[in-house]
Structure 1
Amino acid sequence: MQLPLPQSNKSIALCSLAVSVVALGLKYAAYALSGSVALYSDAVETIINVVSAIGGLWALSVAARPADHNHTYGHYKAEYLSAVAEGSLVLVTAFVIGREAVEGLLHPHPVSASYLGILLNAAATVVNLIWGLTLVHAGRARRSPALQAGGQHVLSDVWTGVGLVAGLLLIPLTGWMWLDAALAGLIALNVLRVGWEMMRESIAGLMDEAPAPETLDDIRDIIATNGRGAIEAHDIRTRIVGAVTFLEFHLVVPGSMTVEEAHEICDRIEAGLRSKMGDTLVHIHVEPDNMAKHEGIVFWPRPATESASR
């Protein structure tokens, strides 16, 4: 299940902040009713969700700014900075929760497994599930690292919530007081995993890591489909920064082709890329036929001028 979303990423971030505050209220109430260290750990993690939502709102606001004389390629990487900061906060949260778990294992105390508290935590879990799926879907559709990171973080809470509800229901049945602290320890490990994945993906974006092979294949297909009249395209390099694709390559054309004809081919390729890839900044270096490397994308059928010379 997914919720209908506002048009702007900034509005989505505001909704995310509101959802995080609601989930925090539910989880803190659940902890207050039970005194459970596991529910306390879950509430602490949700505080980080609120802080992360504020950071995501800032990052999306900065990323939406147009290019200026100090940032001629735009401000898109602000989203990656936000995701790295969020991942760092998640890692810190994992260690805080882990410390509470160790303390609970060393000094276990009775837990009032209030069914109302468990119900409140379950309600927060359902809220997180719906909103987390919505954020991840929106982040992928809009190619927004900040929204995807926020969605993954929220979804990590879902598995935590499911485990907590199941575990806390077992405590009164088994009498295992240590189970509360053990659940907190599992939460810490899950939070640690999510934080590491968020930081790894965001740092890869900051380092201009090449996109997935499937994306590169799509780009090559678009160039090949729209490059009729050219001889070949080589030295293709691309990187994706948030919602924008940066692409550059060399386009070899017949030496007898006019500048206007070569420009028309470039326009056709750029239009094809933007129609399939969305916001794309393309730099094409046009070269004469004697610069051909006989690699990359070789267009077929070849231009008539080349066929006649053979």
Structure 2
Amino acid sequence: METSDRVKRLALWGIPLSLGVMGLKLVAWWVTGSVALLSDGMESSVNVVAAIVAFAAVSYAARPADKTHPFGHHKAEYLSAVLEGVLIVVAALLIVAEAVPTVLAPVPMEAPALGLVINFAAGAINAAWAYVLIRAGRRYRSPALSADGQHILSDVVTSVGVLVGLVLALATGYAVLDPLLAVLVALNILYQGWKVIAHSVDGLMDHAVEPDEAEAIKAAIAAHGAGSLGVHDLKTRRAGAATFVDFHLVVPARMPVGEAHEICDRLEDAIRAVQPGAQIAIHVEPETEKAHGERVRVAPATEAAP
């Protein structure tokens, strides 16, 4: 199964799972009347919308390049993540609007034990799913899955905080702790939403690959560029699951085109060995051209890797 198919399948599974978790949390609120549990359930409702958006985004991002999008549709996942961040912020504001009036007139919970057990079960499901999504997001370089996993993980942290807070409220008899806890939940959600938006916008700005990945690319060029005189103006960028590598390859002025092409093929294979699926653009130029940008020295032919 191709990577894009695995990502789409995971995104699709997120829809029924998020619906189930939301249902459990709303049942927990219904049997208790707790504003904190309601706030937790409202955050899960955002998870449902986010799961649907994530599935649509990864499906669109998997479409092959075409005439109007020659570099592919990878950035659609970043747009999904930005939208999810906005939804998180909206959910936080709705929670505040619900909780603040209750601070002035707190209401005791009903059937608290049953509600807490139900909410704990929902949190356990979310924790397992968040782990799966975050791991898959890193493995397949999917911003949409990563953002969804991070959001669900924040939901898990929220659920744990709500459970601990409500136990304290029951133990102390201070019903006002319930709405106050809901406000704290909203503040945490706002912070998580900001992180998701900031990370996604950064991705839309053509962020370079991570430093360790850049070093691996340079090492591959240095080891397999024998026959050339060096590389300069090396640039990288990441767009969703796709990696783009661009550089200028300097060759002797009298080198035949065929030999220069062989070096390019060798370099492309070496780079894709450390960056699978990378899209590479190499500009071949004679030694008389003035070098600029970042330079990479290559090993002499006798030292080059096979």
TM-score normalised according to structure 2 size: 0.94
How many matched pairs?
300
Tell me the residue number matched to 2:102: 104
Identity %, equivalent residues = 47
**Distance in structure 2 (CA, Å) of the matches to 1:6 and 1:117:** 39
Tell me the residue number matched to 2:115: 117
Tell me the residue number matched to 1:251: 249
**Distance in structure 1 (CA, Å) of the matches to 2:5 and 2:78:** 21
**Distance in structure 2 (CA, Å) of the matches to 1:205 and 1:36:** 39
**Distance in structure 2 (CA, Å) of the matches to 1:124 and 1:222:** 47
* Shift in alpha-carbon separation, 1:235–1:6, aligned structure 2, 3 A: closer
1:8 alignment partner, SS class: helix
C-alpha RMSD over aligned residues: 1.8
Query: What is the Cα deviation at residue 19 of structure 1?
Result: 1.2
**Distance in structure 1 (CA, Å) of the matches to 2:139 and 2:15:** 20
Amino acid at match of 1:36: S
Contact 1:56 1:147 in 2 (8 A): yes
Amino acid at match of 2:73: H
* Shift in alpha-carbon separation, 1:96–1:179, aligned structure 2, 3 A: same
Q: Deviations over 1:230-280 (max 9, x none)?
A: 111110111110111111110101223221111111111111222221221
Amino acid at match of 2:297: V
Amino acid at match of 1:131: W
Tell me the residue number matched to 1:307: none
Higher mean displacement: 10-19 or 103-112: 103-112
Tell me the residue number matched to 1:92: 90
Query: What is the Cα deviation at residue 227 of structure 1?
Result: 1.3
Higher mean displacement: 267-276 or 132-141: 267-276
**Distance in structure 1 (CA, Å) of the matches to 2:4 and 2:178:** 39
Structure 2 unaligned blocks of 5 or more: none
Tell me the residue number matched to 1:194: 192
Structure 1 stretches of 4+ with a deviation exceeding 6 A read none
Amino acid at match of 1:297: V
Match of 2:169 among 154, 168, 171: 171
Q: Deviations over 1:209-241 (max 9, x none)?
A: 223322222221222122122111110111110
Tell me the residue number matched to 1:241: 239
Q: What is the correspondence of 1:1-310 to structure 2 with a 5 Å cutoff?
A: 8-112=6-110, 114-291=112-289, 293=291, 296-301=295-300
Contact 1:113 1:171 in 2 (8 A): no
Tell me the residue number matched to 1:308: none
**Distance in structure 2 (CA, Å) of the matches to 1:96 and 1:154:** 18
Q: Deviations over 1:44-73 (max 9, x none)?
A: 110000000000010011101111111111
TM-score normalised according to structure 1 size: 0.92
